């Protein structure tokens, strides 16, 4: 069978269906010129010396590593070197092969050893799911061989070679990124680490394959394999160099390949796809037709094509399919537009390196809502369906821009063509975009950006970066201040010239509404469409806050008239990043610009943050508090020791030191050459340092720390630095405070207790020794007349520390003694209150008893006054103890007197009660006639006075007990008598009723209350009964005399009450008479009409 490619004018198959390079290479490598140049420069370096060298080429699968080495090998043939090219294989015995080659070589001739096909190592790792033990051993064997070649002095004997056999060897090893970065660098860093390993240089293959490069590769392959006849036809203009392909089909293949590989087409895949299409053309009469292209898409790329839509489009005819099967606009019958699937466009060809042409076209594109095209790197310039595409030229690249048909393109050569509508094309290639509405909003946004002033574009950029709207200041700045609690305070400013940053740097911030808002750094976008970017460049001859290097605190990004498009592109890229989860490929350039912009700002922020961290302060959390933590920092510095709690800001290595913050502030204040008040000093600190990053440390804490160290001292309410002549004044100030403290320790305290003025001694005597030591240290330090050394500063700090410690002790003594004095005053006040409470006792006792108590109280008052007066001249604590003892004694005496009064009152009460009961019993005896009486008591008051005079508390207790017993006994007798009195009262009640019924008396008798517990009421009731009893007895006596009837008979009848039946027998028995006698008396009484017959009272 003959060569089927001859009919197409080729000597052999120009493209391999597997993407493999041919054994006999006819073409040159395309797109790797930069990498080849770098390798050849490295070879030149190698050939200048006699030592060994390792160069690494890194590139993904299918991106031309082998082609690169082919080209390098071809170029090495012109040099006087030996070339050995082999694969880094695990299965083949590469070690023996290389040893044989080294043994047979001429050591005087340089040898370049090329390792290709190291992909086997990568595949082994992938198959094992990681770096297994077996794979790791294989890697170590291969890399060990490379190390042995690079270091023949150490390893030659292990290979049974002489060191000279391995001299003047250069290794060029090609690896995939997975193998090199993830495996070799991690596992064999001593060889492959670029910094500490043996690698001379890493050359990374540019994996960007734009459409123009793909077309150039295909054209180069076809020309390289062309027969003379084909070349002549091409040179005569009779044949397209791409024949049997065309740009329309290649562009479609490229777009589909890019989709297959997630947005990045590889040379190998492109070659394979193009080769398969060539095979189909060869089998089909050598012509690329619409039907053949459809068959190719269906059979080879059906998985990546919407076949149902493709079949639907076929029904519209070949004119539409000619448009649909092209990745670029094509000329077609205008009728295709009637289908509603196609749109007319204008196609313009420009040179992308012509900045003025590109500027005009980009403005046009943005007016129509399309992103500007960035042509700064041709490898980023590829193809975007319906937007633009690129094609290779003899010298450079041509950019073909696609605009709407109505676009005004005066000054440019253009032609009309047709493309599928973007939505139809995307659907055909299976490109689903759920963010269609966002795309529409993006187009609208781009139109706004196109007409916006550059300064407004810059303002919008900082707004999107900071997520805050810029404000306009009185200086005309547009600014956003990012004031995060745990980050740098940053000002984002839009400027028209670099000089606008001078004021911000000088003020450590931005003036807003008349006040300076402090920031730690400035990011300025300098936008000026009247000057070129180069004219805006310049170094700021200024220090930030007058202290720091401006380059560390200020980032100025310049955009002159030649860079306005880049500014707009950044804004568009930021918008796309904020709105789209998946970046549309057409906006990749803008997103890259935005990403670079963000990275630049982030890098500056990171650098600034790292610089700010050198000026951060913090204190460890201590139980004692912040004040003690500051003292601890100074004490560590004075003692020259550190511990685990010493903050890193106050350490220099393993020694304590003055922090960078303090040193910076001292230098700044020294440059002012004037005192500064506390409010202004805190303002300066807020401007100079990132206080928002300080932990548990505020501006006033820094001032306290520096005062304690002796770096600052206060003069007339303002602060002065001690260096530059102020040290002696600071020492004198400290010594003055020591002397004032000494005076305080020698003093006494005048106090008033009641009406007595006393002078008590303070307890500062124990501190006088320490003060004398301080006075001596002060005296020695006053001899320093020049700027102090660090040791002299430490001595002053030691005095300051000791002063604070002593002052704390003094304050502690003052506080304790103040409490004691207050307690002493309260004690006296309480004693006076207690004594006064007995001066006029409210208890119910006789005045004579009260007089006795008053005399005792007066004696007690005199005792207290004498005791308080004796406290004069004592120390406060001894006076307190003495008064405490006095309080105990007086309180006891007061309580005893109060008890005596209580006992006296109780005795008198019981005596009175006993007397009342005796009187009641006496009265009751008159009623019941039993003679139950109690003899009267002697006057108890005299006895009580006698006992009070003797302070006989126990005797009073005994007397009270006796009276309690007597009253108890009397009450018992009273209860028994009252029960009989109640019976007598009933008889009297009946008797009065009988007398009243017979008309002998005209009064009623109300029964008295004999159940009352009130003795007075009970006595009154008995008195009333006694009177009634006398009246009844008198009336009955009168009747008895008149009628000659015994009183006992009349009393018996009357006691029964009126209208009560009388039994003469019972009556006789109770009266001790004979019945006949009783009847006679009743008859007498009947005749006197005092009883009724048979017989009724």
- Paired with 490 in beta bridges are 482, 521
Task: Taking residues 651-665, report their average pLDDT.
Answer: 92
Please state at what angle helix 355-367 crosses helix 564-579, rounded to 10 degrees: 40
Which stretch of 264-268, 431-435, 464-468, 757-761 has the lowest confidence by average pLDDT? 431-435
User: Cα(1083)–Cα(1043) distance, rounded to whole angstroms?
Assistant: 11
Residue 844: pLDDT over 70: no
Task: Taking residues 1027-1043, report their average pLDDT.
Answer: 86
Task: Taking residues 1016-1035, report their average pLDDT.
Answer: 83
Please state at what angle helix 33-48 crosses helix 65-76, rounded to 10 degrees: 50
What DSSP string describes 985-1000? Answer: HHHHHHHHHHHHHTTS
The predicted structure's pLDDT at residue 948: 67
At 861, the pLDDT band (50, 70, 90 cuts) reads confident
Where does residue 942 rank: exposed (0-12), middle (13-18), buried (19+ CB within 10 A)? exposed
The predicted structure's pLDDT at residue 124: 64
Residue 869: pLDDT over 90: no
Strands (E), 580-675: 651-652, 655-656
- State how far Cα 989 lies from the chain centre: 98
- Paired with 446 in beta bridges are none
Query: 886 near 867, Cβ under 8 Å?
Result: yes
Query: 346 near 414, Cβ under 8 Å?
Result: yes
- State how far Cα 946 lies from the chain centre: 83
Residue 745: pLDDT over 90: no
At 936, the pLDDT band (50, 70, 90 cuts) reads low
Q: Strand pairing of 111-116 and 169-175? A: parallel
The predicted structure's pLDDT at residue 243: 95
- Highest mean pLDDT (candidates 84-98, 135-149, 201-215, 877-891): 201-215
Residue entry with tokens 């309480």: 830
**Other residues' Cβ atoms within 10 Å of the Cβ of residue 627:** 14
Q: Which residue has the higher pLDDT, 144 or 120?
A: 144
User: Cα(122)–Cα(727) distance, rounded to whole angstroms?
Assistant: 71
- What lies within 8 Å, CB to CB, of 446 at 6+ separation is 366, 369, 370, 371, 572
Residue entry with tokens 């028994």: 976
The predicted structure's pLDDT at residue 233: 94
User: Cα(1081)–Cα(1074) distance, rounded to whole angstroms?
Assistant: 11
User: Cα(162)–Cα(147) distance, rounded to whole angstroms?
Assistant: 15
Residue 92: pLDDT over 70: no
Q: What is the per-residue burial (b if ≥16 Cβ within 10 Å, else e) of 565-581?
A: bbbbbbbbbbbbbeebe
Which stretch of 277-286, 428-437, 690-699, 879-888 has the lowest confidence by average pLDDT? 428-437
Query: 754 near 868, Cβ under 8 Å?
Result: yes
DSSP summary character for residue 180: I
Residue 387: pLDDT over 90: yes
Residue 678: pLDDT over 80: yes
User: Cα(458)–Cα(742) distance, rounded to whole angstroms?
Assistant: 67
Which stretch of 831-845, 928-942, 960-974, 1027-1041 has the lowest confidence by average pLDDT? 928-942
User: Residue 811 is encoded by which pair of tokens?
Assistant: 């304050």
Which stretch of 524-538, 605-619, 711-725, 915-929 has the lowest confidence by average pLDDT? 915-929
Q: What is the rounded average pLDDT for all residues in the chain?
A: 86
Find, among 734, 873, 838, the residue nearest to 796 by Cα: 734
Query: 281 near 250, Cβ under 8 Å?
Result: no
pLDDT above 70 as % of the chain: 92
The predicted structure's pLDDT at residue 291: 95
Prediction pTM value:
0.69
The predicted structure's pLDDT at residue 118: 63
The predicted structure's pLDDT at residue 196: 81
pLDDT digits (tens, 9 = 90+) for 306-349: 999 999 999 999 999 999 999 999 999 999 999 999 999 999 99
Return the ∠ at Cα 452 (arms to 446 and 454), rounded to 5°.
110
Task: Taking residues 269-295, report their average pLDDT.
Answer: 94
The predicted structure's pLDDT at residue 229: 95
At 574, the pLDDT band (50, 70, 90 cuts) reads very high
User: Cα(973)–Cα(976) distance, rounded to whole angstroms?
Assistant: 5
Q: Rg of the chain over CA atoms, in angstroms?
A: 61
The predicted structure's pLDDT at residue 661: 94
- Highest mean pLDDT (candidates 282-291, 843-852, 876-885, 898-907): 282-291
Cα–Cα distances in Å, from 847 out to 345, 901, 939? 130, 12, 15
The predicted structure's pLDDT at residue 433: 65
- Highest mean pLDDT (candidates 241-250, 479-488, 855-864): 241-250
The predicted structure's pLDDT at residue 376: 85
At 885, the pLDDT band (50, 70, 90 cuts) reads confident
Find, among 210, 209, 240, the residue nearest to 222 by Cα: 240
Find, among 357, 21, 59, 408, the residue nearest to 204 by Cα: 59
The predicted structure's pLDDT at residue 1061: 83
pLDDT above 90 as % of the chain: 39
User: Cα(637)–Cα(620) distance, rounded to whole angstroms?
Assistant: 16
Query: 547 near 664, Cβ under 8 Å?
Result: yes
Task: Taking residues 874-879, report their average pLDDT.
Answer: 80
Query: 418 near 323, Cβ under 8 Å?
Result: yes
Strands (E), 734-790: 748-753, 756-761
What are the counts of helices (DSSP H) followed by strands (DSSP E) for the chain?
Answer: 40, 26
Residue 1: pLDDT over 60: no
- State how far Cα 61 lies from the chain centre: 47
The predicted structure's pLDDT at residue 222: 94
User: Cα(514)–Cα(321) distance, rounded to whole angstroms?
Assistant: 69
pLDDT digits (tens, 9 = 90+) for 765-810: 667 777 788 888 888 888 776 778 888 889 888 988 888 888 888 8
Which stretch of 220-234, 462-476, 541-555, 738-752 has the lowest confidence by average pLDDT? 738-752
The predicted structure's pLDDT at residue 742: 78
At 841, the pLDDT band (50, 70, 90 cuts) reads low
């Amino acid at each position: 069978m003959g060569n089927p490619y001859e009919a197409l004018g080729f000597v052999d198959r120009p493209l391999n269906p597997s993407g493999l390079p041919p054994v006999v290479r006819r073409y040159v490598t395309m797109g790797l010129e930069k990498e080849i140049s770098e390798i050849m420069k490295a070879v030149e370096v190698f050939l200048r010396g006699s030592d060994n060298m390792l160069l690494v080429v890194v590139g993904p699968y299918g991106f031309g590593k082998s082609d690169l080495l082919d080209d390098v090998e071809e170029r090495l043939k012109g040099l006087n070197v030996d070339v050995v090219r082999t694969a880094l294989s695990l299965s083949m015995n590469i070690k023996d092969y290389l040893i044989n080659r080294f043994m047979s070589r001429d050591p005087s001739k340089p040898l370049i050893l090329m390792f290709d096909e190291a992909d086997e190592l990568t595949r082994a790792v992938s198959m094992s799911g990681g770096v297994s033990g077996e794979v790791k051993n294989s890697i170590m064997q291969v890399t060990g061989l490379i190390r042995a070649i690079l270091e023949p002095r150490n390893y030659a004997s292990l290979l049974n070679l002489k060191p000279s056999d391995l001299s003047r060897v250069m290794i060029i090893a090609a690896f995939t990124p997975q193998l090199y970065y993830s495996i070799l660098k991690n596992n064999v860093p001593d060889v492959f680490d670029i910094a500490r390993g043996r690698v001379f240089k890493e050359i990374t293959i540019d994996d960007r394959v734009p459409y123009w490069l793909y077309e150039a590769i295909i054209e180069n392959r076809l020309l390289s394999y062309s027969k003379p006849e084909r070349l002549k036809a091409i040179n005569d203009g009779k044949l397209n160099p791409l024949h049997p392909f065309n740009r329309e089909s290649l562009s479609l293949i490229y777009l589909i390949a890019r989709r297959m590989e997630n947005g990045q087409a590889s040379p190998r895949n492109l070659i394979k796809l193009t080769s398969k299409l060539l095979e189909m053309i060869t089998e089909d009469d050598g012509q690329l037709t619409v039907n053949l292209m459809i068959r190719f898409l269906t059979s080879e790329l059906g998985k990546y094509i919407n076949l149902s839509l493709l079949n639907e489009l076929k029904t519209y005819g070949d004119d539409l399919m000619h448009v649909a099967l092209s990745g670029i606009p094509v000329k077609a019958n205008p009728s295709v537009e009637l289908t509603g699937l196609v749109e007319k466009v204008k196609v313009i060809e420009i040179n992308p390196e012509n900045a003025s042409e590109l500027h005009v076209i980009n403005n046009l594109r943005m007016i129509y809502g399309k992103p500007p095209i960035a042509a700064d790197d041709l490898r980023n310039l590829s193809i975007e369906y319906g937007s633009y595409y690129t094609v290779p030229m003899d010298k450079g690249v041509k950019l073909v821009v696609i605009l709407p048909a109505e676009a005004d393109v005066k000054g440019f050569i253009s032609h009309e063509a047709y493309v599928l509508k973007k939505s139809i094309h995307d659907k055909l290639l299976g490109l689903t975009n759920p963010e269609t509405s966002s795309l529409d909003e993006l187009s609208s946004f781009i139109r706004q950006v196109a007409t916006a002033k550059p300064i407004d574009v810059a303002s919008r950029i900082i707004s999107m970066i900071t997520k805050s709207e810029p404000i306009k200041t009185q200086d005309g700045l547009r600014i956003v201040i990012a004031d995060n609690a745990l980050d740098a305070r940053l000002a984002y400013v839009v400027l028209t010239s670099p000089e606008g940053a001078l004021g911000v740097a000088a003020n450590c911030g931005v003036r807003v509404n008349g006040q300076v808002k402090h920031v730690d750094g400035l990011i300025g976008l300098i936008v000026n469409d009247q000057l070129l970017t180069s004219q805006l460049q310049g170094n700021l001859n200024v220090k930030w806050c007058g202290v720091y290097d401006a380059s560390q605190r200020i980032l100025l990004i310049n955009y002159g008239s030649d860079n306005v498009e880049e500014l707009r592109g950044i804004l568009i890229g930021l918008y796309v990043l904020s709105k789209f989860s998946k970046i549309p490929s057409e906006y990749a350039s803008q997103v890259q610009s935005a990403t670079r912009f963000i990275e630049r700002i982030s890098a500056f922020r990171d650098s600034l943050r790292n610089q700010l961290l050198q000026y951060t302060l913090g204190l460890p959390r201590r139980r004692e508090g912040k004040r003690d933590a500051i003292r601890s920092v100074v004490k560590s510095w004075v003692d020259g020791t550190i511990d685990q709690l010493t903050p890193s800001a106050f350490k220099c290595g393993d020694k304590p030191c003055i922090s960078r913050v303090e040193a910076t502030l001292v230098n700044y204040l020294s440059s002012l050459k004037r005192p500064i008040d506390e409010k202004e000093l805190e303002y300066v600190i807020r401007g100079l340092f990132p206080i928002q990053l300080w932990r548990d440390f505020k501006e006033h804490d820094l001032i306290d720390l520096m005062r304690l160290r002796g770096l600052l001292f206060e003069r007339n309410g303002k602060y002065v630095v001690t260096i530059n002549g102020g040290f002696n004044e600071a020492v004198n100030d400290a010594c003055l405070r020591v002397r004032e403290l000494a005076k305080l320790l020698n003093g006494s305290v005048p106090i008033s207790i009641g009406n007595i003025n006393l002078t008590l001694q303070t307890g500062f005597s124990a501190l006088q020794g320490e003060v004398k030591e301080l006075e001596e240290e002060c005296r020695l330090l006053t001899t320093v007349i020049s700027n102090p050394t660090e040791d002299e500063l430490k001595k002053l700090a030691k005095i300051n520390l000791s002063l604070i410690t002593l002052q704390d002790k003094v304050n502690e003594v003052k506080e304790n003694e103040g409490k004691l004095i207050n307690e002493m005053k309260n004690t006296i006040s309480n004693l006076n209150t207690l004594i006064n409470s007995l001066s006029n006792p409210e208890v119910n006792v006789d005045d004579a008893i009260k007089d006795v108590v008053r005399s005792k109280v007066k004696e007690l008052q005199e005792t207290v006054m004498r005791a308080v007066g004796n406290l004069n001249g004592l120390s406060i604590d001894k006076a307190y103890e003495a008064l405490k003892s006095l309080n105990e004694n007086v309180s006891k005496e007061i309580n005893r007197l109060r008890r005596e009064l209580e006992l006296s009152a109780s005795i008198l009460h019981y005596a009175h009660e006993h007397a009342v009961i005796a009187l009641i019993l006496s009265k009751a005896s008159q009623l019941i006639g039993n003679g139950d009486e109690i003899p009267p008591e002697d006057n108890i008051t005299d006895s009580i006075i006698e006992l009070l005079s003797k302070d006989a508390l126990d005797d009073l207790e005994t007397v009270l007990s006796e009276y309690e017993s007597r009253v108890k006994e009397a009450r018992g007798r009273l209860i028994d008598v009252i029960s009989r009195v109640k019976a007598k009262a009933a008889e009297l009640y009946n008797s009065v009723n009988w007398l009243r019924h017979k008309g002998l008396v005209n009064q009623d008798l109300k029964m008295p209350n004999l159940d009352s517990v009130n003795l007075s009421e009970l006595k009154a009731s008995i008195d009333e009964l006694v009177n009634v009893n006398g009246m009844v007895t008198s009336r009955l006596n009168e009747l008895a005399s008149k009628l000659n009837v015994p009183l006992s008979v009349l009393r018996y009848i009357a006691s029964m009450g009126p209208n009560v039946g009388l039994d003469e027998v019972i009556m006789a028995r109770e009266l001790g008479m004979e019945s006949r006698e009783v009847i006679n008396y009743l008859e007498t009484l009947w005749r006197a009409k005092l009883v009724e017959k048979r017989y009724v009272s």
